[in-house]
Amino acid sequence: MNSEMRMTLTQFLIEERRRYPHAGGDFNSLLLNVALVCKRIARKVAAGELGGATGSASNVNVQGEDQKKLDVISNDLFIEGNNWGGYLAGMASEEMEDPYQIPECYPQGRYLLVFDPLDGSSNIDVNVSVGSIFSVLRAPASDRPVTVDDFLQPGTEQVAGGYAIYGPTTMLMLTVGNGVHGFTLCPQVGEFMLTHSNLQIPPDTHEFAINASNSRFWEAPVTRYVDECMAGKTGPRGKDFNMRWIASMVAEAHRILMRGGVFMYPRDSKDPAKAGRLRLLYEANPVGFLIEQAGGRASTGRQPVMNVKPSSLHQRIGLIFGSKNEVERIERYHNEPQQHDEPNPLFTERSLFRQSV
């Protein structure tokens, strides 16, 4: 089908809204403005060195990470593209320590927008796919300044979740709780066109993604799972697995939505102050929402990630998602009685990634 015949994101959202006769247009305005912001970011990312925006911003963000110039630009685009619309009560971002208050000159609305403006940004300078991740929540109130507590809602409360991936093509993947739909940016028309309806993740896979350089910090159930995959045909799984690691979660989530697989950035003992690497509110929850809406599963290893009640705006969490049967297997391994629940070098289990002791 050529792009003229396809449904645009605007048409898709209008048709979705018709299913809810009492809905105003705020929700659609919000999603369309997020999509517009993503188009702007896509242009900046695609310009690369020619756009003069690659490299470090010489600043460290609230996460203690080196901010890239494009992190800062993308964050500003999200803020400026959404603060005026009258549909938001506030915003929160990976790049800002505190929630963003809607300026008094604009009306305050009923939704909260939470986002990671440029996920995987360490990949920008090496021209590997990056993306923007967003989650939409209902604001508990819209007649007072927004508070941190307003954002601390479990992922099950999300009314929309999605990401844009800036790869060989720019795509927007979206769920409003009625399946996952993928839209490809048509460079000629400048519109997101519906190209992937109702995506379904195959329940089984032979592909897993994990940063194996952290293996000495893993907990026993993760070590067991990875070892069994690595053992291949002759091991307990009886089949060979492939391993992938892009170090850009959006790109990994996209691969998994397209063809299945399992992604793990589990809780580990690398830094006792952090319960994991990825952020609950603007990474784990929206990706978890997409994955579950596509028939997959998203978990901390111990419970569905979207059931976790957040305790802080920038909370980190262990995250495992992808093909349902694999994620359930990993959860089973976590729930079985462990010989040594916490990793301890004195009790290192035999592992393909470890020297036996």
- Number of CB atoms found within 10 A of residue 175's CB: 21
267 touches 341 (CB < 8 A): no
Minimum distance of ligand F6P from residue 26's CB (angstroms): 30
Q: Rounded to the nearest whole angstrom, what is the least distance from the CB of residue 357 to ligand F6P in the complex?
A: 26
Q: Is-contact 110 89, C-beta < 8 A?
A: yes
AA letter at 193: M
Could you tell me if 110 and 138 are in contact, meaning their C-beta atoms sit under 8 angstroms apart? yes
Spatial separation of the C-alpha atoms in residues 3 and 274, rounded to whole Å? 45
**Rounded least distance, CB 86 to ligand F6P, Å:** 31
- 253 token code pair: 């989530």
Q: Segment near ligand F6P (CB under 6 A), from 106-114, 198-206, 245-253, 342-350?
A: 245-253
- 261 lies in the site for ligand F6P, by CB under 6 A: no
71 binds ligand F6P (CB under 6 A): no
| Closest to ligand F6P by CB, 120 or 221 | 120
State the sign of the Cα–Cα–Cα–Cα dihedral 100, 95, 50, 183.
negative
The only residue of 278, 284, 287, 320 in contact with ligand F6P, by rule CB under 6 A: 278
- By CB under 6 A, the count of residues binding ligand F6P is 9
Reported as type and span, the H/E element at residue 173 is strand 170-175
Q: What is the pairing mode between strands 262-265 and 207-210?
A: parallel
Contacting range for ligand F6P; rule: CB under 6 A; set: 23-31, 42-50, 150-158, 244-252: 244-252
Q: Which is nearer to ligand F6P, 7 or 133 (CB)?
A: 133
Q: Binding of ligand F6P at residue 249 (CB under 6 A)?
A: yes
Tokens 């993306």 belong to residue? 131
- Contact stretch for ligand F6P (CB under 6 A) within 40-48, 247-255, 266-274, 294-302: 247-255
- Kindly indicate which of the ranges 42-50, 107-115, 187-195, 246-254 contains the residues binding ligand F6P, using the contact rule CB under 6 A: 246-254
The verdict on 37 binding ligand F6P (CB under 6 A) reads: no
Measured from the CB atom, the residue of 119 and 150 that comes closer to ligand F6P is 119
The span from the first CA to the last CA of the chain, in angstroms, equals 59
What burial class does residue 262 get, using C-beta atoms within 10 Å of its C-beta: 0-12 exposed, 13-18 middle, 19+ buried?
buried
Q: In the stretch 103-122, what mask flags binding to ligand F6P with x, by CB under 6 A?
A: ----------------xx--
Residue with Cβ nearer ligand F6P (197 or 211): 211
Contact by Cβ (8 Å): 135, 93:
no
Residue nearest to ligand F6P (CB): 249
Comparing CA positions, the residue from 261, 259, 238, 264 lying closest to residue 319 is 264
> Do 354 and 215 form a contact (C-beta atoms < 8 A)?
yes
Using CB under 6 A, list all residues that contact ligand F6P: 119-120, 211, 247-249, 265, 277-278
